[in-house]
Structure 1
Amino acid sequence: MRLIIAEKPSLGRAIADVLPRPHKKQDGYVETASGDVVTWCIGHLLEQVEPENYDPAYKQWRFEHLPIVPQQWQLQPRKNTRSQLSVIRKLLKTADTIVHAGDPDREGQLLVDEVLDYLKLSQARKKNVRRLLVNDLNGSAVKKALARMQSNSDYVPLSVSALARSRADWLYGINLTRAYTVLGKKAGYGGLLSVGRVQTPVLGLVVRRDEEIANFQPKPYFEVFALLVTDQGECFKAKWQPSEACQPWMDDEGRVLDRRLAENVVSRVQGKQGEISKLDKKPGKETPPLPYSLSVLQIDAARQLRLSAKEVLDVCQKLYEQKLVTYPRSDCRYLPVEHFREAPEVLGAIRSNDEHLANAVDGALPDRKSKAWNDSKVGAHHAIIPTTRRADLYKMGDRERKLYGLIARQYVAQFYPDHKFSAQKVSIIIEGGLFTASSRTVMEEGWKAVFPRKPSSPEKEDSQRLPEMTKGQALLCKEAELAEKQTQPPKSFTDATLLSAMTGIARYVKDSEIRKVLKETDGLGTEATRAGIIELLFNRKYLARQGKNIHATETGKALIKALPEPVSQPDMTARWEASLNQIVEKKGSYQSFMSQLEQQLTQLLLEAGQSGTINVQGLPPVSASRFKKKTRRKKAPRRAS
């Protein structure tokens, strides 16, 4: 008997649907006519035990117990999934072949692997476990996946990375939450101070941004523009570029802060002749934007559809379960080359499903292969794209239709030519000062024809069209203009920009050495967890929305103020994410990662203990009885990453 263990019932049903009938539906599994049996987990069937399971003394929260580091890690069944675990236990006993069909990511890999370990599957049988990777729940895709299964042992690094992350989150959350809750109690605060590896740095990002905005002092700065005229009477504007000699009167961003300096430039160039010192004119092109990963989809959906990260994930999961899009928790933006053969069928489904994209599909070139098809950049899963399934989207909700439209449009763009343009930049010397102007003329719209045209801003320097000119040509500065502007505070975080900050966390890392190591794709959390982390901060009343902007609440601000700065900075957890990715790529090890983590944790606890207390001013009062009620339970308060 071949036993296939899926991550979720929906995936289990999709696999069973392509296996020989008739089927016998049993409690927690499906028997097929071929003798195959399909069962499933219900998300995680197992969870980490609480500290008191390792030592009853840990039931009392005491600083001297820390750090709590299990010597032999233990898992326990979740209360509401015990029966399903029993089903899998029973089926394993009679299975000849076992197929791991967890979701195609590191969490999905660990989820089934840990069940097999917990149920004490022998090493000999583990070596023969097969791995089924399903990115698309449509029957044809599932059949293809069944035909190309691999050895599950090939995915050990993925599982080890997820295991390291899970244990790191437990160690960090348990120890630091207990440490600062105990210190808070000493300082007179009776509530729980929840600290998480990811949630606390994310909250810190928002708190610090709010502080920058509140403390921002606007300053005037000055720009000079020259209205230049050719011999043929053609006019255009050029902007003054201050020289190094002007630096004493400029800020770090190169803006002139001294009005007298700008006024002097105006008076010097007004009515004077200038000469073109440099002229660059060259063709350019933009390739179609790659299909979506989850984070990029969440960012675009937040900007265009005003959906939160969690809403995008929930809607995308619904589309996936209805077989309209591929696996949603993907961190990849590329597609396998073999998928290119399905392009005409996928395009046909898009045309049928979304009337707004009918013209775009009609104009597509199905034989055109963009750079999105690249096997070397596809791991366990590929980019999120529509499937070949046709359905009546008008029977679905507005959010489902619009999100499907975003995903579909990004796919259709792959079959359009590059956007081509001619870029021109001119440098003019007037009385020793450098002025520049640029323009960009569209030569071929290409893939941009698929996307709604954005209104152009008249203030953009390249919104004008430059006349034909030659190097050395003389120009008259007919008029010089002084423009006074105000420096602007940083913008408040929105769903889109907070997600962008989490995925590109290197921009917010203080340590320059760490910043050099981190890639733009490294970030806080994973594709599957970022939405949950943001939602957790809202649920705990640490964050709140004002229109589309996200701000820290007074509670959130007070919590970050109460904690030492390293705990709320992204540096350490960004380093962790890079190390976890190295484990997946076989460039790092579990032992090295956990050893470094324990050293860092010990140092953080040492610093916390030396301080002896924390600043709890501003934290809302919490009754001691409420806190004690939680500690009397068998399980201590949960902490999240």
Structure 2
Amino acid sequence: MTNTTYETLYLCEKPSQARALARQLGASNNEDGVFTGGGAVVLNAYGHLLNLAMPDEYSDHDRGPWSLSNLPIVPRKWEWKVKAEHIEHYNKIAAWLDRVKTVVIATDPDEEGEVIGRQILYELGFKGDIRRLWVSALDPNSLKQALNNLFPLSDTDTAYRAGCVRRQLDWLYGINLSRAFSVSSGQRTSIGRVKTRLLTELVRRECEIKCFTPVNYYTATAKFEDVVLEWQPATGCVDIPQLPLDGEVTGICITASEYQETLEPSLPLTLSALLADAADIGIDVTSGYAAVQKLYEAGAISYPRTGSTVMPGHGKHGFAVHHAIVNMRDACPDWLPDTCQIIFNMVHHNCVLQHIGAATVHVRKLVFDMGGEIFTAADRWVDPLKPREAGWLLCDPGKHSALENNVKTAAFKPGDQVHATLKVERNLTVPPERYTEASLLRHMAKAEIGTEATRVDAINNLVINQVAERKQAKPGSSQQLSPTEKGMSLIERLPPSVTGNTMENQLRNALIYVRSGQADFTGHLRNASKWLATTISRMKQNSTYDLIRS
């Protein structure tokens, strides 16, 4: 390290971020992974350089065998520890901080990135000026704009507190419940807010499949000329229609209505939606996630770990509100692998659909009374004389052609009588399908289980911990996920308060509280600790094991 004095240090989260930012700043000297030049220093933190200390790392903790009697464990003061493999790098950051007056936190633009950046500076006791770089993409234009609009640290206080309360609550849940159920069962058990709820969903689906009993239901169609009418039962398709099972039937047109529908394109992409779409065509979520990260680091797409479905420039954006994933260039860099090319094209195609906009579809609907039963048919078409009305459908030739010249009902009006050929079919209900990576991701997003940044890891950890397994149903499709016997047994032993959404609701309430501007979230930690104490107390009454060796 030279003795040159520098004005500003930019603290990134990953090496790829540091390289991109260094190029933008003209910091071209690379000194063992630290970029310098133009009065700036750019280095990275290797992600989670610091983590909340484990119980045995606290000086006042009983390091003896695990026991229900010393649970729940609630730190009086939260401590952070450096990963052993990163101590040398941590000390390098400390040495560089002594040589600058200002630090710009340039970690990922999210709550977790805020904690990563701030906690390093707080633990090392940096006393200089701290500002925040909040950038939505790593392309030169986005970096230039963000560098010209640095935020004071106070603007990201709520993001920091939200990240901290999430980490601390998850620590309380994971440490205490894992130890408690390990003791009560006599075998090592891993419990967590996201993974346990996720495994519960897989077990619930497996039980639905195994316990499924088929039920008869009926469908019926009536055909005349080129029009096919479908039966609209009033009783959920379980009763036989009051019509002959086959043959001729006479009906009368009750209504013939015409109107227009606005058909929107698929929503702008969140990370979960993008990975689910990729999984549908055979790209597993782990490979998809890695490809998305490579595209972001190459400046080809915007920040990916977003749950927003708002396009840039639309709606009200605060500094910490991300837009949906968009492409930052017209073509994917050709040096990136095929998986990246496929996913980039998916992002680019979605953006094209958003810019073209909605389609206007004309609808004509017929309603017939067939012997006391209601049958309907509807035509949908785009006006060939008004091509702009086709909107995004122009980018989907299959759907667009299906809506061209598709008018078969125009000749009918109320009061018209027809003679139709009736066909009634008896069917059996089928069990629900096992979750796939794609459908599970969509379920997690809809149920707000986990975050965009953690869902893939949550799925992978179930497989790593051997409580779930993957199976390839067929080539080019999403892999199925099902619980193992170990996973089924674990969920059967857990009380509903742990397998349900209690932990998720506690975290959600805490996040709403801190994101509203409240600084002190200790009340939410106390509430979680009380719930843990109650849960563990009930376990003590049923536990057959008093302690387990750590």
Same fold, judged at TM 0.5 (above): yes
Alignment check: 8 A CA contact 2:216 2:429 kept: yes
Task: Summarize the alignment of residues 341-356 of structure 1 with structure 2, pairs less than 5 Å apart.
Answer: none
How many Å separate the matches in 1 of 2:276 and 2:400?
20
Which one of 307, 310, 317 corresponds to residue 331 of structure 1? 307
Which one of 285, 295, 312 corresponds to residue 288 of structure 2? 312
Is structure 2 residue 170 aligned with structure 1 residue 192? Answer: no
Deviates more, 1:397-406 or 1:24-33: 24-33
How many Å separate the matches in 2 of 1:482 and 1:301?
39
How many Å separate the matches in 2 of 1:62 and 1:4?
45
Query: What is the aligned partner in structure 1 of residue 4 from structure 2?
Result: none
Alignment check: 8 A CA contact 1:524 1:577 kept: no
Q: Percent identity?
A: 29
Normalising by structure 1, we get a TM-score of 0.77
Letter in 2 for 1:536: N
Aligned-residue offset at 1:390: 5.6
Aligned-residue offset at 1:495: 0.7
Aligned-residue offset at 1:66: 0.5
Query: What is the aligned partner in structure 2 of residue 255 from structure 1?
Result: 237
Task: Summarize the alignment of residues 420-459 of structure 1 with structure 2, pairs less than 5 Å apart.
Answer: 420-443=360-383, 444-451=389-396, 453=398
How many Å separate the matches in 2 of 1:146 and 1:379?
15
How many Å separate the matches in 1 of 2:417 and 2:103?
79
Letter in 2 for 1:86: N
Query: What is the aligned partner in structure 2 of residue 475 from structure 1?
Result: 417
Aligned-residue offset at 1:434: 2.2
Query: What is the aligned partner in structure 2 of residue 358 from structure 1?
Result: none
Which one of 13, 20, 43 corresponds to residue 14 of structure 1? 20
Letter in 1 for 2:232: Q
Query: What RMSD in Å do the two structures reach over aligned CA positions?
Result: 2.7
Is structure 2 residue 244 aligned with structure 1 residue 266? Answer: yes
Question: CA separation of 1:455/1:174 partners in 2, compared to 1, >3 Å: closer, same or farther?
Answer: farther
- Larger proportion of helix: 1
Query: What is the aligned partner in structure 2 of residue 42 from structure 1?
Result: 46
Question: CA separation of 1:66/1:538 partners in 2, compared to 1, >3 Å: closer, same or farther?
Answer: same
Is structure 2 residue 482 aligned with structure 1 residue 551? Answer: yes
How many Å separate the matches in 2 of 1:99 and 1:575?
33
Q: Secondary structure at the match of 2:89?
A: helix
Letter in 2 for 1:387: M
Aligned-residue offset at 1:580: 2.1
> What residue ranges of structure 2 are gaps of 5+ in the alignment?
1-6, 384-388, 473-478
Letter in 1 for 2:449: L
Aligned-residue offset at 1:118: 1.1
Aligned-residue offset at 1:301: 0.7
How many Å separate the matches in 2 of 1:235 and 1:58?
79
How many Å separate the matches in 2 of 1:539 and 1:576?
25
Alignment check: 8 A CA contact 1:335 1:378 kept: no
Query: What is the aligned partner in structure 2 of residue 281 from structure 1?
Result: 258
How many Å separate the matches in 2 of 1:104 and 1:601?
32
Instruction: Please list the CA deviations of residues 521-578 of structure 1 after superposition, one character each: whole Å capped at 9, or x if unmatched.
Output: xx11111110011011111111112223211111111111122233223454255236
Moved over 6 A (4+): 454-457
Normalising by structure 2, we get a TM-score of 0.89
Q: Secondary structure at the match of 1:558?
A: helix
Question: CA separation of 1:40/1:272 partners in 2, compared to 1, >3 Å: closer, same or farther?
Answer: closer
Deviates more, 1:464-473 or 1:169-178: 464-473
Alignment check: 8 A CA contact 1:424 1:439 kept: yes
Aligned-residue offset at 1:94: 3.1
How many Å separate the matches in 1 of 2:492 and 2:95?
52
Query: What is the aligned partner in structure 1 of residue 315 from structure 2?
Result: 374
Letter in 2 for 1:497: S
Letter in 2 for 1:48: L
Question: CA separation of 1:557/1:14 partners in 2, compared to 1, >3 Å: closer, same or farther?
Answer: same
Question: CA separation of 1:437/1:59 partners in 2, compared to 1, >3 Å: closer, same or farther?
Answer: farther
Q: Secondary structure at the match of 1:266?
A: coil
Q: Secondary structure at the match of 2:382?
A: strand
Question: CA separation of 1:390/1:546 partners in 2, compared to 1, >3 Å: closer, same or farther?
Answer: closer
Which one of 70, 89, 93 corresponds to residue 94 of structure 2? 89
Deviates more, 1:442-451 or 1:476-485: 442-451
Alignment check: 8 A CA contact 2:306 2:452 kept: yes
Aligned-residue offset at 1:107: 0.5
> What residue ranges of structure 1 are gaps of 5+ in the alignment?
186-190, 248-253, 338-372, 458-462, 506-522, 615-623, 632-641
Aligned-residue offset at 1:29: 2.3
Aligned-residue offset at 1:494: 0.5
Aligned-residue offset at 1:455: 11
How many Å separate the matches in 2 of 1:574 and 1:427?
46
Query: What is the aligned partner in structure 2 of residue 384 from structure 1?
Result: 325
How many Å separate the matches in 1 of 2:525 and 2:80?
18
How many Å separate the matches in 2 of 1:83 and 1:452?
57
Question: CA separation of 1:488/1:588 partners in 2, compared to 1, >3 Å: closer, same or farther?
Answer: farther
Which one of 443, 448, 455 corresponds to residue 501 of structure 1? 443
Q: Secondary structure at the match of 1:594?
A: helix
